[in-house]
Amino acid sequence: MRQEITAQGVRVVVVEPGFVATDLASHITDPATRAMAKEMQGSMRTLQPEDIAAAVLYAVSQPSHVSVNEILIRPTDQTR
């Protein structure tokens, strides 16, 4: 996408969040996967939605000549 629209002045940012404290785990239908997600969430200090929002705000608030291409953001203690 970046290669196709950069010439039009559009910036593209890939945001890759780690484990974020949301209700996503409650929507997992497979019991084993749901249990694994809840266990992972309990084993770390998860990111908050506001943490991701702050990272996105950083990327989009850069001057027009700056392109933040990727943001990989994870909880400090997320090991996998």
Q: What is the pLDDT of residues 10-68, one digit of tens each?
A: 899 999 999 998 888 889 999 999 888 888 888 889 999 999 999 999 999 999 999 99
Quote the DSSP letter at residue 20. B
Quote the DSSP letter at residue 52. H
Instruction: State how far the Cα of 67 lies from the Cα of 69, in Å rounded to an integer.
Output: 6
Instruction: For 64, list phi and psi in degrees, rounded to 5.
Output: -60, -20
pLDDT band at 6 (very low <50, low <70, confident <90, very high): confident
Are residues 17 and 43 in contact, defined by beta-carbon separation less than 8 angstroms?
no
pLDDT score at 78: 87
pLDDT band at 75 (very low <50, low <70, confident <90, very high): very high
Instruction: State how far the Cα of 1 lies from the Cα of 59, in Å rounded to an integer.
Output: 17
Tens digit of each residue's pLDDT (9 = 90 or more) over 12-22: 999 999 999 88
pLDDT score at 61: 96
